Structure formats: C-alpha cells, structure tokens
C-alpha cells in the first residue's frame, strides 16, 4: 500500500496530461518550420506530428474536415477506396507511418496521387495524416472522430478495430490500377 | 448579546422536555460514529445537509469566480485577456455550475435540514439514500471541475445545443463530461426528491394535517413532485447525446432521420420546470421570513398553496418559449405565449399576499427581511421582462441577446439567491447556534443589491442595442463598451458583497451572539428545539394543533410518549391528517452509501471512455448496494425482540 | 379500511395518557401505503414512467419526421416479443402470490413464490437476448434503430435491476436474518415488479406494432 | 457606384433593435414601447405598494406578541384587495397577449409582391448568400454582405451547413434560426437606405462572436446595377502584377477553398471571392476590406480570428503583394 501511495498522484497526473493534450484546441498553428516542397523530412517533424496531431481530437477532426473539403473522398471514398486505393485496410503500398503518409500527400505518388505540397499548408497535411491513420483504427478511440452528421458511411473511425499493418509491395508501375 | 428574552422560558415550559437521561440516550442513539470511518458513515440528516450546503456554496463561489472572469473579458471591446476557446469553457462552466451544481441542489440541501425540524420528525425517510445522493452530487461536481482544469471543460453552452455539442462539432471528451455531469446531478436530484416527498407525506408529527403544514414545507413538496417529472427529460436527452457521441446512434443526426430540435424539446421540457425548481423553494423561504418578521401569519394560506400547485402545473406547459426563433409553426408558438403569460398570475397572487402581510403586520426589520424585500424589487422587474420575452414577436428581437442574460439573472438572483441569503441569515442561528452579525449583514445586503442592479440593469440596454449572448468579445465601434464596463464594475461589487458574507459567517461562527432556541420569536416547530438541534431533533415528538404551533396555545395532548431511546425510531403517520400509524426503525450509520456512490462514479466516468464500462462497472455497484441493503444479524436479533406485528 | 381502523381493530393504537400520546403499543412495520417504502417505490415508478413516456414520445416525434418508417424497411419479428410479453404477464402470478404470502407474514410461502419468480426472471432475461437479435436493425443504423434500441435497452435495464433486487431478496429470505420489515420489502418489490411488467405493454406495442402501422 | 466602393472604416452600421429601419422591426418596436410602458407602470405600482406597506407598518422586535387573529377568522378586507390586484394583473396580461397577437399578425401580413429571394446558408463563422430569382442564369453567390433594394420585400431562405446559427439584423427584423436538416424563411423589408449590421445570435462555436454580416439597403436602381455587376465573372486583370497575383491565387492554397468565377478556382469550402473588392468588410463583416487588413488576414488569420478554418499562408513578400493587387481587381 505504501509504495503505491505516490503512484496514485503520478497516475492521475499522467492521465490529466493525456487528457490535457487530447482536448486542446491549438487554434494558433506554429508557422511551419520546413519550407514547402522540402523532400527530406527531418526526424523531428515526424515526432512532432505524432504527439501534436495524433493525440489531439481537434486536429484529427479538422483532418476529417479537410478530407472532405479537398475532395480526398473523390478518389478514396470514405476510406474504402474507389479510383484511389483503400485507406482503411492493412495494406499500405508506400508505408503507413506518419512520415510516409506525409510524403504521399505532400509530394504525390505515381498512378494518380496529386502532390498537395504547395496547395495545402503543412499544418493541415499533418492533420490529414492523423485522420488517414485513424481510418484504419490506428488512433485510440478517445481521439479518433466518432460519427459525423449526415448520411452514414460505415463505422465511425473511433469504433474501428486497429488493423495490423502489412506493407504491400508496389505492383509493377506499368499496370494501370 | 441581547438580554435573555423573558418570553423564552414561557415557551420552554409549554414544550415539554424529556428528562436529561433520556435526552443523552437519544443523543447517543442518533449520533453518527466518530473518527474518519465515522465521517464517511454519517447519515444524520443534519450532518449530510450541512455538508451539502457547504458543497453547493463552494460551487456557487466557483461559479462566481467564473462570472468575474467573463466580466473581466467583456469589460472592454476587443479585450485579449481570454481567448475564445477558454472563454467558451468559462461561460459554459459558469452556466452549468450555477444551474446544475448550485441552484437546484442548494434548495434540496437546505430542505433536507429544515423539513424534519419543521414537521416534527427525528429524521428523513431514507437517510442512507440521502447520504448517497449527496455523495453522487459531490463526485459529479468534482468530475466536472477536474475536466475543466485539464482543459476538457464543456464548451457548448449550459444547454449544449446539438449539432454543436454533437459528435462531429465537439471532438474529444468535453461535452461527454458535461452530459455525464447531468447524469450525476439529476440522479442526485431525483433521489432527494423521493426522500423529501416521502418524509413530508409520512413522517409529520401527529396533528400536523396537510392544512397545518408550514408553507415552506408545501413549496418543497411541490418542487419535489416537479423534479420527479422534469428531470427524467434531461436524463433521456443527455443519455441520447452520449450514445450519439460514443456508440453512433442518430437521435440528433438530421442526415439519418434524427432532428436537432428533438434535443431542444427534450432539454427545455426539463429546462423550464428547472428554473421553477429554483424559484419555488425561495417562495417558501419568503413565506417563513415574512411571517416571522411581520409578526403575523401569512395572508391567504389556501391561496398561497393553490398558487404553488398552479405554478407547478403551468411550468410544464411553456417550454417552447425558449424556441420562438426556430422554424416551428407560428400558431403553436402563440399558445406558448399565452401559457407563459398566465403563469405570472399565481406568482402575482403570492406577491400580493406577502405585501398584504407586510402591510397588516408589525415589522421587525432585520437582514433576513431586507433580502426578502429586495425580492419585491428585483424579481418583479425580472418577471415583467419575462412577460416581454413571452411575446413571440418581441422575443425574435430579444432572444439570445444580453436582454435575456439580464432577465434570467433578475429572476434567478432576485427570485432565488436573494431569498437564499435571507434564509441563511434567518436559519444560520438554528444551524450553528450563533447569530450572524447585523451590521455586516446590512453591508452585505446593500452591496449585493446595488452591485446586482449596476451589473445587470445595463444588460437590458446592451440586448436592445444588438449585443448577442455568449460572445467572447465585441467590436469597439458598436458602442457597447461603456455599458459593459459598468456591468463589470457591478460584478466586482457583488464579489465584494459575497466576500463580506463569508467574513460574516467565519466571524459569527467564533464570536457571533449566542442565539438560543428562538432568536426571532418565530412560529414554526424548528424554533422549539435547541440551536443547533440535538442529533435526534426532538427529545419528545410534539403533537401539533395549528399552523404556527409556537404562536398558538398548546392544548392537550402536547407530545408523544413510548418511543424508544435506544433505537433510531420514527413515528410514521397517515398522509392527510397525520394520525399516528406505526413506529419504524431507521437504518444505522453505514459507509456503504459512500462506497456505492464511489462505485457509481467509476461506472459513469468509465462509460465516457468505453460503453463496456456500463457492464463491468455495474458489478461493484451491485455488490456495494447489496451490502448496503443487507441487514446485520446482531442488530436484527435485538430488534426482533421488541417487534410488534401490524 | 384506513390505517386508523386497522390499528383500532388490532387493538394497537395511540393511547391518551394525560398530556401525552402513548404510541408504545403501535406496530413496528406496516404494509402498502402505510409504509414509507411504498411511497419511495412509487416515486421511482413515477420517474421511470416519465422516462418511458418521453422515449415513446421521442419515437413518435422521429416517426413524424421520417418519410419511411421503419427506415431499415423491416419491423421487428414478433415471435420473441410476443413470447416475452406472455412470460412477463405470467410472472405477475407468482409475484402476486409472493405479495400475499408476505402480507400473511408466511415465510415459507414467500420463499416458494420468490423462487418461482426467479425462474420467471431467468426466462424473460433469456428471451430478451433473442428479442434484441430480432429487432432487424442496429442502434447505429438510423434514428429508428436508435430509438427502438433505446426503448428496449431502458426496459431491459429495469428487467435486470428488478431481477437482481428480487434475487437478493430471495437469498435473504432463505439465509435470514429475518424480521417483520423484510416482508414489507417483499411486498414492495412485488409492487415494483408489477410496474416493470405493466410498463412493458406500451413499450411492446410501440416497438413491435408502432413500426407496422 | 455605391457606398461599397469606399474602403475606409465601415460607417458604424446600425445594429439596434430600438432604431427600426424596416417595417418588421417597426411593428416589433411599437409593441416594445407599449409593453415597456405597461410593465413600467405595473413595476412602479408593486414597488410603491411594497414601500408604502413597509413604511406604514409599525415596528416590532423578536419579543413582540405575534398577532394570530387571522388564524381564527377570515380577513375579508385584505382578501378583497388581493383579489382586485390579481384582477388588474390578469387584465394587464390580456392586454399584453392582445398586443402580441396583433403584432404577429402585422408581421405575417408583409406584402410579398416581387420579392427578392436570397438563400442564406450558415457556415462556421461566415454566411454564404445565393441570390435566386427563378432564372438560373441570373443566379449569383456572394458572402457576408447582402445588398437589398429599399422598399422591396426580401424572402431569406435559411439553411445551416454545420451547426445552428441565427440570422439577426435588429434594425430590419427579428431573428430566425438556421437549423441543419430544416429550412426556415425570414421575410423583411428595408424602408430606409443605409447599412445595417447583423450578427449570429445562436452560439455556434469558437468564433460565434465574430460572425457578422452587413445588409446594404440601396435604391432599387443601384440594386439592379449591383446585381448585374455581381452576375459578371471576374474580369481579366490587365496589370502584369495582378496577373502574377492570379497565378499565385491559382498556384497556392487559395484555390483549394475559394471560388472566383471565370477562373479554374471553383471550390466552395470558403466564401466566394469573385467580387471581393466590392465588399466593405472581410472575415464575416469583422475587418475593413483594405490592403492592410487583407495582408494581415491572408498571412495569419488565426491572429485576427483564432479557430477560423482558413490556414496561415507563408507567401514570399512579392507574391503576397501580387496577390493583393489581384484581389483588388475583383470588383
């Protein structure tokens, strides 16, 4: 009993900090450090992406807003895939970690993925990265968005099981997907 | 210290006292066990009620500090003191704290102290349930403020309109904490209502028929019945909101058949009776204070009781006047205009009866009466602005502006907080045995009265000049700066006055004049026992022969004999005429209500994070409540020996 | 016959002794409206009836806004609903016997009928699981599914809590300690059981037939 | 052309329920004056009655013997007075009810012949207005500022795109909520030319406080000219710097959200900027539409309106100046 006495405040403090992080509304986005179009992303940017966006419910829900506003659902539908590949399953052709997804969105990919680097600010790209990862259940249910108003397209992101990521080898470039 | 009043000893002789040995036995029987465990096991209605009152006053102070922050930010145009996100949390917390954590619970807290004393009972009907309700309320309040301090405070307004409070536009757990706080406070409110109704109907002293009950007891009976039918509406609405947010139901999702106005209907069907839950108990305070300080019974007892009942019924019929700006059919709205106007009649009757009582009485002007007299100025003004808001066409200009902020503060502070302060000054001697200082009381009153009007009257003008509600700032060229500054200065005055009240309480607890059983020469039963009352309230349960027992001659029989002093025994009487029916043993003090409340808190807070919490956390709740219910073998063996079958 | 006559008939009433009213001869527990427990239970019944009534009103509110009702096109299957209604109505019989036994202070009778009640509660809890399956809609499919699951979920909560209360009481009746007041609890628990059964009838009509007309 | 051309500080537009400039606000203003008079009389009567009662009553103290005669017999004289006072209260309430019914009828009877139809859609924290008069080719979209002809009725169809907002221009008429999933209509008419300011009156989130809109009531001839102008697509920028600005507009993040008809930019997430320069204010009626505020707004909107959905844009200075030059050509 004695040993766990200091444990309790530590636990509640940790819980509080997690809650604090998850619930903030970071309205004043920091000016993006790297200039747009810089191919090699420093490791720091990845770390920053993880905690600033993926643990913040507001950032992920903003990502969901941009997913519709920038017409990502035009090719990827609600994550199920259409002309573009599915984003909610476990197969990732260009890597499932935040940095790879950031590169995919910012610099585009062959077979039709446009480069949004110059057009979508970096802060919003990180929010999109966080939302895209929530499509396959990678984010904790307290952060991922729950149902949205309007017609339902499958399970809300908060209630999806976490997919076990299996990297998929890129099919030969010539074949039109 | 006033000279001992000769009249008191005549009072003593008339109210028979038990011999000292019986009195000490009674005290030991009704006392809660000592020590830390004893503190958590306390179920004496006065102990729990004092804690309840202190907790609600602390929430009132917290709400007040939040109000000061709001006024600080709004004092000047384009002030950058508080950002929009923080401000939205602050005004939502201010509204939610004042409405759910202070206004309704404080009335129930004061009632659980006074009602047994006023009806001649030794305890509430379900003392353990009363303790459980207090703990649930406190834990709900702590949860909300814990969320607020980790930046997870609700930010969608105290009535959280959907879809803003829905899953898409309120990401994270903020609104979930608000909706769960509703579950806590409403559960507590409903249980207190059941406790109060059963106590009033079944535990009155012999002879106290319904038409001899003090008017305050009538107000609590009427309020508690309203609670039974109003609070379920907000519990259903907030449960539907939490299932919308957490498991994806579509109650309020227009795209899948839901409707945004369903929330407003369900919320305001509770919302309007809620404001009458806050308004009606103070009518009881006023009736008690006016009678005592006008040295005569209140005029028109039947008219007052009927007015209370009429207000209660009408309160359920006018919720749509909160929704006049929506696209509901116009004819329907006019019906609610008429209903909103009619409800002014019963309140008018009560006000006229009180004025008649004051006019035909001899006035003993002390601080409690001052606070009540402020009611006639502030509440009447608030009621009349309410009549303006009742008209559909006028409401389209005034709705959701600072005019409504002014109206609601005039009726809530004028109708509830002023009489509540009067009630504290009036019954403080009974709670603590010491009188509050009169000079400090006057300062407290006048600062409050002036500060209040300086704060909230300018808001009528701001509303008419186009300033909407819930804005964290406003442009300079709108010309609203001056009136907002005046309001902010007034708010500081109110803060000073409340501080003065705290000083008065702290000082009087140590050096206040000793009050004795009846410092005001009042007429109701609570003034026939010592201050503070013994644990068992009445050494001998009195027999009542009139509405104001201490003011009227006391014919035979004067008291009840044959109640055990070794067991916590109460006399159960019939509903209408309070004739003795049977004796009943009250439960012993127990830690289990507290532990059950802890288990219920784990269930509620857990269910914010995972719906499965409702299942696995139900087990500790079931275990705790079973142990709470399970009789102790030794105690039962003792009681069975003196058991008498019906 | 009100409380006073009952007491007078039983020779147990308040006796005037000079200026006092001696109540030492009065009983230490009483049944039905004479007992505060009855009023507490009725308070609970009033609260829950209001919750049920408001949920039913929300059902018809949403239905009035819907173009197609039920939105998932298939109303619930009737089999399990009807079966459960039958079981619930039948369960009022052992309940009534238990109430009578309690009011006769017949411990043996109470033990017997409470056990029968527990069998019934197991039956309708089991059937209720199948009922959820037969609703033909999920809670998150649309507003219809949400309000139907809310109605059935609220009533199920009452079935579970009432079954558990009765179980605790039944076990107490067997293990003891026994005192007169416990019979009042059995009688009130039966009263609450009536409410849980009777409140099911309108909910049954709304869930199963509200979607067919 | 009209007041919209000047880009100085917008004249303090009227936002005051007591200064009516439209029939609807006038009717309500009349009801307000009547109700104010009646309620003030009742208030003064009750307060005076209380003061007189308290003043006249003799003083006492805790030991004074309470007068319990009223418990023995009825007090007819006092009951009669209370009865009369209650009767007067009921009469007053009936007058208020009558006032409301007549005003509501007057509001409902606004003549709607050849009304201007505007469809107003509420977004989180700005207003999208679509002018429709039945002929699809005449339709055009603008944002945050409505121009309406004086003397002609206007039917505003209200829809919400996200949460509940409420359109309230106090000098013209009462407010009406914009509720997702429902359609409401608000009928009003401006009787005097001028600029009237309105604000969202239903709490709608972070920037509810800064969601204003301006209504310019102009003579019918000016309205027609303005509408004709609004129907034109954006004109081709002559000046090379402005043309470079357009390329910046189409090359960076502006094109992702805004529409400028006549250019490939057709996104509808943000307000329509085709005729941005013809508007007096930016950011939902909050800041004057001049080069300084525009530069500050494009650079970091979060500083002026924290929580707004427009992202910060780090443009090199010359691109920014070119963009501003281009935006100023969008008359």
For D175, nearest residue in chain B (alpha carbons): B396
Residue D192: CA count within 13 A, CB half-sphere:
14
Chain B residue numbers touching C139 (CB-CB < 8 A): 243, 247-249
B155: closest CA among B88, B208, B110? B88
Residue ranges of the domains in chain C?
A: 1-28, 31-209
Averaged pLDDT score across all residues of chain B: 94
Angle (CA) B588-B593-B598 rounded to 5° is: 155
Residue A99 forms part of a structural domain: yes
A70 touches chain D (CB under 8 A): yes
* Tens of pLDDT, residues C155-165: 999 999 999 99
Which backbone phi and psi does D147 adopt, to 5 degrees? -110, 125
Chain D residue numbers touching B365 (CB-CB < 8 A): 54, 59
* Tens of pLDDT, residues A7-62: 777 777 777 777 777 888 876 655 554 433 444 555 666 666 667 788 899 999 99
pTM comes to: 0.94
Q: Which of residues 19-48 of D touch B (CB under 8 A)?
A: 25, 27-28, 31-32, 35-36, 39, 42-43, 46-47
Q: Count of domains in chain A?
A: 1
- Between A23-27, B166-170, B458-462, D288-292, the lowest mean confidence (pLDDT) is in A23-27
User: Quick one: pLDDT at residue C71?
Assistant: 86
Cβ(B47)–Cβ(B32) below 8 Å: yes
- Between A40-44, B190-194, B326-330, C205-209, the lowest mean confidence (pLDDT) is in A40-44
Alpha carbon D118 to chain centroid, angstroms: 14
CA distance A165 to chain D (A): 31
Cβ(A57)–Cβ(A20) below 8 Å: no
> Any residues with CB less than 8 A from the CB of B154 and at least 6 apart, and which?
B89, B92, B93, B96, B144, B147, B160, B165, B174, B175, B177, B178, B181
User: Quick one: pLDDT at residue C25?
Assistant: 86
* Tens of pLDDT, residues B2-25: 444 444 444 444 567 778 898 999
Provide the 8-state DSSP code for B414.
I
Which backbone phi and psi does B289 adopt, to 5 degrees? -70, -40
User: Quick one: pLDDT at residue B326?
Assistant: 94
User: Quick one: pLDDT at residue A159?
Assistant: 85
A29 touches chain D (CB under 8 A): yes
B7, B334, B471 ranked by CB distance to D209: nearest: B471
Residue A176 forms part of a structural domain: no
User: Quick one: pLDDT at residue D4?
Assistant: 38
- Average pLDDT for B120-144: 96
Which of D180, D250, D256 to substitute to test the interface with A, most A CBs within 10 Å? D256
Residue A52 forms part of a structural domain: yes
Chain D residue numbers touching A69 (CB-CB < 8 A): 256-257, 267, 269
User: Quick one: pLDDT at residue B4?
Assistant: 45
Report chain A's C-alpha Rg in angstroms.
18
Q: Which chains touch C (3 or more CB pairs under 8 A)?
A: A, B
- Between B97-111, B410-424, C68-82, the lowest mean confidence (pLDDT) is in C68-82
Sign of CA pseudo-dihedral C113, C119, C120, C125? positive
User: Quick one: pLDDT at residue A30?
Assistant: 56
Residue B140 has pLDDT above 60, yes or no: yes
Residue A136 forms part of a structural domain: yes
Chain D residue numbers touching A123 (CB-CB < 8 A): 311-312
* Tens of pLDDT, residues A77-130: 888 888 899 998 888 888 888 888 999 999 999 888 999 988 999 889 999 999
Q: Place D12 in a pLDDT band, splitting at 50, 70 and 90.
A: low
Q: Place A176 in a pLDDT band, splitting at 50, 70 and 90.
A: very low
Chain C residue numbers touching A147 (CB-CB < 8 A): 140
Q: CA–CA separation, D212 vs D208, rounded Å?
A: 9
| Dihedral of the alpha carbons of B199, B203, B209, B214, in degrees to the nearest 10 | -50
Q: What share of chain D has pLDDT > 70, as a percent?
A: 96
Q: Give the CATH number, domain containing residue A101.
A: 1.10.760.10
For chain D, which domains are there?
A: 11-56+71-226 (2.60.40.420), 240-328 (2.60.40.420)
Q: Are strands C20-22 and B559-561 parallel, antiparallel or unpaired?
A: parallel
Cβ–Cβ gap D312/A149 under 8 Å: no
Chain B residue numbers touching C140 (CB-CB < 8 A): 247-250
Q: DSSP states of B49-97 as a string?
A: HHHHHHHHHHHHHHHHHHHHHHHHHHSSTT--SS-HHHHHHHHHHHHHI
Above 0.85 for ipTM, yes or no? yes
SS3 of B233-274: the string is HHHHHHHHHHHHHHCCCCCCCHHHCCCHHHHHHHHHHHHHHH
Terminal CA-CA length for chain D: 11
D302: closest CA among A69, A145, A148, A62? A62
Residue C209 has pLDDT above 90, yes or no: yes
Task: Sort D137 into a burial class: Cβ within 10 Å, 0-12 / 13-18 / 19+.
Answer: exposed
Residue D182 has pLDDT above 70, yes or no: yes
Chain C residue numbers touching A152 (CB-CB < 8 A): 140-142
Residue ranges of the domains in chain B?
A: 6-531+588-629
| Dihedral of the alpha carbons of B74, B76, B82, B83, in degrees to the nearest 10 | 90
User: Quick one: pLDDT at residue D226?
Assistant: 95
Residue C89 has pLDDT above 90, yes or no: yes
Overall CATH class of domain B6-531+588-629: mainly alpha
Q: Which chains touch A (3 or more CB pairs under 8 A)?
A: B, C, D
Q: Which CATH superfamily is domain C31-209 in?
A: Cytochrome c oxidase, subunit III, four-helix bundle (1.20.120.80)
Q: Are strands D165-168 and D194-200 parallel, antiparallel or unpaired?
A: antiparallel
Residue A23 forms part of a structural domain: no
Residue B630 has pLDDT above 50, yes or no: yes
- Average pLDDT for D276-305: 94
B329 touches chain D (CB under 8 A): no
Residue A6 has pLDDT above 90, yes or no: no
Q: Which chains touch D (3 or more CB pairs under 8 A)?
A: A, B
* Residue-range definition of the domain harbouring residue A109: 43-147+154-167
* Tens of pLDDT, residues B491-511: 999 999 999 999 999 999 999
D205 touches chain A (CB under 8 A): no
User: Quick one: pLDDT at residue B569?
Assistant: 93
* Tens of pLDDT, residues B364-408: 999 999 999 999 999 999 999 999 999 999 999 999 999 999 999
- The residues that bridge with A113 in the sheet, in sequence order, are A109
User: Quick one: pLDDT at residue B8?
Assistant: 46
B84, B330, B390 ranked by CB distance to D209: nearest: B84
Q: CA–CA separation, B182 vs B108, rounded Å?
A: 16
Which range of B7-21, B287-301, D303-317 scores highest in mean pLDDT? It is: B287-301
Count of H-run helices and E-run strands, chain D: 9, 12
Residue D8 has pLDDT above 60, yes or no: no
């Amino acid at each position: 009993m004695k040993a766990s006495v200091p444990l309790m405040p530590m636990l509640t403090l940790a819980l509080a900090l997690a809650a604090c992080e998850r619930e903030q509304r970071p309205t004043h986005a920091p000016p993006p450090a790297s200039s747009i179009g810089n191919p090699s992303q420093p490791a720091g940017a990845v770390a920053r992406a993880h905690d600033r966006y993926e643990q913040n419910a507001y950032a992920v829900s903003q990502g969901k807003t941009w997913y519709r506003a920038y017409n990502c659902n035009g090719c990827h539908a609600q994550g199920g895939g259409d002309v573009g590949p599915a984003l909610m399953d476990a197969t990732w052709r260009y890597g499932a970690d935040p940095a790879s997804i950031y590169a995919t969105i910012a610099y585009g990919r062959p077979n039709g993925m446009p480069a949004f680097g110059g057009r979508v600010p970096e802060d919003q790209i990180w929010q999109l990265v966080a939302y895209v990862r929530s499509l396959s259940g990678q984010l904790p249910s307290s952060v991922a968005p729950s149902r949205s108003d309007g017609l339902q397209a499958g399970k809300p992101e908060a209630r999806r099981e976490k997919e076990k990521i299996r990297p998929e080898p890129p099919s030969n470039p010539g074949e039109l997907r | 210290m006033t000279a001992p009043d000769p009249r008191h000893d005549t009072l003593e002789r008339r109210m028979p006292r038990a011999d000292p040995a019986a009195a000490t036995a009674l005290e030991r029987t009704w006392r809660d066990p000592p020590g830390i465990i004893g503190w958590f096991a306390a179920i004496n209605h006065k102990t729990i009620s004092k804690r309840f009152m202190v907790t609600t006053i602390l929430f009132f102070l917290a709400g007040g500090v939040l109000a000061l922050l709001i006024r600080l930010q709004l004092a000047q145009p384009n002030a950058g003191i508080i950002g929009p996100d923080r401000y939205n949390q602050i005004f939502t917390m201010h509204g939610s704290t004042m409405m759910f954590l202070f206004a309704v619970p404080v009335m129930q807290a004061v009632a659980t102290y006074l009602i047994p004393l006023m009806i001649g009972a030794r305890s509430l009907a379900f003392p353990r349930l009363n303790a459980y309700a207090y703990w649930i309320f406190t834990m709900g309040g702590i949860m909300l403020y814990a969320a607020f301090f980790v930046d997870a405070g609700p930010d969608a307004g105290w009535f959280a309109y959907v879809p803003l409070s829905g899953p898409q536009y309120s990401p994270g757990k903020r609104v979930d904490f608000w909706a769960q706080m509703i579950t806590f406070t409403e559960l507590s409110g409903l249980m207190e209502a059941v406790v109060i109704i059963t106590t009033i109907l079944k535990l009155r002293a012999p002879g106290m028929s319904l038409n001899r009950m003090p008017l305050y007891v009538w107000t609590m009976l009427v309020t508690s019945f309203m609670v039974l039918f109003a609070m379920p509406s907000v519990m259903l609405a907030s449960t539907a909101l939490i299932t919308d947010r957490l498991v994806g139901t579509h109650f309020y999702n227009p795209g899948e058949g839901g409707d945004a106005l369903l929330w407003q209907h369900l919320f305001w069907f509770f919302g309007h009776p809620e404001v009458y839950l806050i308004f009606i108990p103070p009518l009881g305070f006023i009736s008690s204070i006016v009678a005592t300080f006008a040295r005569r019974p209140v005029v028109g007892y039947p008219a007052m009781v009927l007015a209370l009942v009429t207000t209660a019924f009408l309160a359920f019929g006018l919720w749509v006047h909160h929704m006049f700006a929506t696209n509901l059919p116009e004819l329907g709205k006019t019906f609610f205009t008429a209903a909103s106007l009619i409800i002014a009649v019963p309140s008018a009757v009560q006000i006229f009866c009180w004025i008649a009582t004051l006019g035909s009485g001899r006035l003993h002007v002390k601080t409690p009466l001052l606070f009540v007299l402020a009611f006639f100025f502030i509440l009447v003004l608030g009621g009349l602005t309410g009549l303006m808001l009742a008209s559909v066409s006028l409401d389209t200009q005034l709705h959701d502006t600072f005019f409504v902020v002014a109206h609601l503060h005039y009726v809530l502070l004028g109708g509830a907080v002023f009489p509540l302060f009067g009630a504290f000054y009036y019954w403080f001697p009974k709670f603590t045995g010491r009188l509050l200082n009169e000079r400090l009381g006057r300062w407290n009153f006048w600062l409050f009265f002036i500060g209040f009007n300086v704060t909230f009257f300018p808001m009528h003008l701001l509303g008419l000049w186009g300033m909407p509600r819930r804005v964290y700032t406003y442009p300079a060229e709108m010309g609203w700066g001056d009136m907002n500054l005046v309001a902010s200065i007034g708010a500081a005055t109110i803060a000073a006055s409340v501080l003065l009240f705290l000083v008065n309480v702290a000082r009087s607890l140590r050096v206040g004049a000793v009050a004795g059983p009846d410092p005001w020469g009042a007429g109701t039963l609570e003034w026939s026992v010592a201050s503070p009352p013994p644990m068992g309230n009445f050494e001998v349960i009195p027999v009542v022969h009139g509405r104001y027992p201490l003011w009227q001659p006391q014919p035979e029989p004067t008291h009840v004999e044959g109640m055990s002093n070794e067991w916590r025994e109460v006399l159960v009487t019939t509903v209408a005429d309070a004739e003795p029916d049977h004796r009943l043993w009250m439960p012993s003090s127990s830690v289990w209500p507290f532990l059950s409340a802890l288990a219920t808190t784990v269930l509620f807070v857990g269910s914010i994070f995972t719906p499965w919490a409702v299942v696995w956390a139900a087990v500790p709740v079931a275990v705790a409540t079973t142990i709470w219910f399970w009789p102790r073998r030794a105690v039962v063996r003792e009681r069975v020996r003196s058991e008498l079958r019906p | 016959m009100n409380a006073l006559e009952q007491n007078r008939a039983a020779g147990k009433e308040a006796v005037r002794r000079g200026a006092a009213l001696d109540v030492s001869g009065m009983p230490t527990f009483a049944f039905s409206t004479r007992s505060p427990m009855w009023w507490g239970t009725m308070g609970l019944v009033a609260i829950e009836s209001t919750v049920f009534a408001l949920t039913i009103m929300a059902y018809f509110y949403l239905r009035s806004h819907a173009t197609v009702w039920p939105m998932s096109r298939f109303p619930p299957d009737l089999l399990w609903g009807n079966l459960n209604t039958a079981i619930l109505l039948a369960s009022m019989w052992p309940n009534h016997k238990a109430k009578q036994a309690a009011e006769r202070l017949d411990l043996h009778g109470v033990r017997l009928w409470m056990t029968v009640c527990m069998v019934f509660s197991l039956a309708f809890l089991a059937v209720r699981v199948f009922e959820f399956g037969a609703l033909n809609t999920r809670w998150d499919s649309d507003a219809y599914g949400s309000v139907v699951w809310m109605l059935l979920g609220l009533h199920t909560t009452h079935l579970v809590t009432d079954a558990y209360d009765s179980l605790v009481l039944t076990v107490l009746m067997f293990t003891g300690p026994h005192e007169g007041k416990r019979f009042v609890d059995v009688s009130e628990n039966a009263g609450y059981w009536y409410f849980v059964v009777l409140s099911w009838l309108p909910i049954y009509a709304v869930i199963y037939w509200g979607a067919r007309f | 052309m009209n007041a919209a051309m000047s880009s100085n500080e917008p004249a303090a537009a009227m936002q005051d329920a007591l200064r009516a400039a439209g029939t609807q606000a006038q009717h309500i203003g009349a009801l307000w004056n009547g109700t104010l008079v009646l309620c003030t009389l009742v208030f003064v009567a009750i307060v005076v009655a209380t003061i007189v009662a308290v003043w006249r009553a003799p003083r006492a103290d805790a030991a004074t013997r309470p007068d319990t005669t009223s418990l023995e017999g009825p007090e007819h004289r006092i009951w009669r007075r209370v009865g009369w006072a209650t009767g007067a209260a009921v009469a007053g309430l009936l007058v208020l009810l009558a006032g409301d019914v007549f005003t509501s009828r007057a509001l409902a009877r606004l003549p709607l012949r050849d009304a201007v139809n505007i469809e107003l859609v509420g977004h989180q924290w700005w207003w999208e207005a679509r002018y429709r008069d039945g002929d699809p080719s005449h339709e055009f979209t603008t944002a945050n500022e409505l121009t309406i002809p004086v003397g002609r009725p206007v039917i505003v169809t209200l829809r919400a795109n996200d949460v509940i907002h409420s359109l309230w221009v106090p000098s013209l008429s009462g407010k009406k909520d914009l509720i997702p999933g429902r359609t409401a209509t608000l009928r009003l008419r401006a009787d005097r030319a001028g600029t009237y300011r309105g604000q969202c009156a239903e709490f709608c989130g972070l920037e509810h406080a800064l969601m204003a809109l301006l209504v310019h009531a102009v003579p019918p001839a000016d309205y027609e000219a303005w509408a004709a102008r609004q129907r034109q697509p954006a004109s081709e920028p002559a000046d090379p710097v402005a043309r470079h600005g357009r390329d910046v507009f189409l090359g960076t993040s502006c094109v992702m959200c805004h529409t400028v008809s006549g250019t490939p930019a057709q996104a509808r997430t943000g307000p329509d900027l085709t005729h941005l320069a013809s508007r007096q204010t930016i950011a939902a009626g909050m800041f004057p539409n001049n080069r300084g505020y525009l530069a500050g707004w494009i650079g970091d909107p979060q500083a002026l309106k924290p929580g707004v959905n427009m992202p910060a844009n780090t443009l090199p200075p010359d691109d920014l100046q070119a963009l501003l030059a281009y935006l100023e050509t969008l008359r």
